[in-house]
Structure 1
Amino acid sequence: MEQSNFNNFETGQKLPNATAVLILGILSIVTCCCYGILGLILGIVALVLAKKDSALYNVSPQSYTNYSNLNIGRILAIIGIVLSAIYLLMTVWMIMTFGLEGMQDPQAVQEKMREMMGQ
């Protein structure tokens, strides 16, 4: 007598990009401090791959086993994109406020920040 496998873990396939999405989502958070640019790129790539795999999963959900990895990676990519965008905007603001030369001197930055807070 043949026993059916209800959870489909033994017979199901893995989504092709789920692990890559998870790794890219983690890296987008880790690299958000690289002026925000690298984290944005990795997060966007992770979201594009996640969208492709989500479409594949929605066609036949019972055929795939690692959708949770895909979903976690997508959430991490969104967090990485938000953090990277905030860091990038902060960097642009600091360059506009202090200039590239001014950012090279930490004491000058502290003095300008004190002046801005005193106003």
Structure 2
Amino acid sequence: MENQKLPNATAVLVLGIISILTCCCYGIVGLILGIIALVLAQKDMQLYKASPEKFSNYSNLNVGRILAIIGVVINAVSLIYFIWIIAYFGMEALQDPALMQEKMKQLQGM
């Protein structure tokens, strides 16, 4: 019997890479993609553990899962950072450069 490929291994790998690349999109897009990749990876890992001799591309699945974990962590930190920026400076300061400079000077103690 010929080895089969895990059904979602390539998708998990692609989603893991994209979740890292989209960390600058306020953390939301990459976080969603990373979570989807982790769910798909979990399903394929259960399938692989049931009969490992049937499948040949477990390494792609494992790399994709690791990239998805890294992407989720980076995007979660990024999202928390952007929420902190909005909470600390406020939306008004983010939209008005002069007010933002004033708040930055206050932050620096000038």
Structure-2-length-normalised TM-score: 0.92
User: What is the CA–CA distance in structure 2 between the aligned matches of 1:89 and 1:36, rounded to whole Å?
Assistant: 8
Verify: 1:14 aligned to 2:14, yes or no. Answer: no
- Superposed CA offset, 1:59-80 (max 9, x none): 1111101000000000000010
Q: 1:53 aligns with which of 44, 51, 59?
A: 44
Change (3 A) 1:14 1:117: same
Partner residue in 2 for 1:77: 68
User: What is the CA–CA distance in structure 2 between the aligned matches of 1:110 and 1:12, rounded to whole Å?
Assistant: 61
Alignment root-mean-square deviation, CA: 1.6
The count of aligned residue pairs is 110
User: What is the CA–CA distance in structure 2 between the aligned matches of 1:22 and 1:106, rounded to whole Å?
Assistant: 40
Bigger shift: 103-112 or 64-73? 103-112
Percent identical among aligned pairs is 63
What is the deviation of 1:104?
Answer: 1.8
Partner residue in 1 for 2:107: 116
List runs of 5+ in structure 1 lacking aligned partners. Answer: 1-7
Verify: 1:26 aligned to 2:50, yes or no. Answer: no
Verify: 1:92 aligned to 2:83, yes or no. Answer: yes
What is the deviation of 1:107?
Answer: 4.7
List runs of 5+ in structure 2 lacking aligned partners. Answer: none
> Match of 2:90, as an amino acid?
G
What is the deviation of 1:109?
Answer: 2.8
SS state of the match for residue 23, structure 2?
A: helix
Partner residue in 2 for 1:68: 59
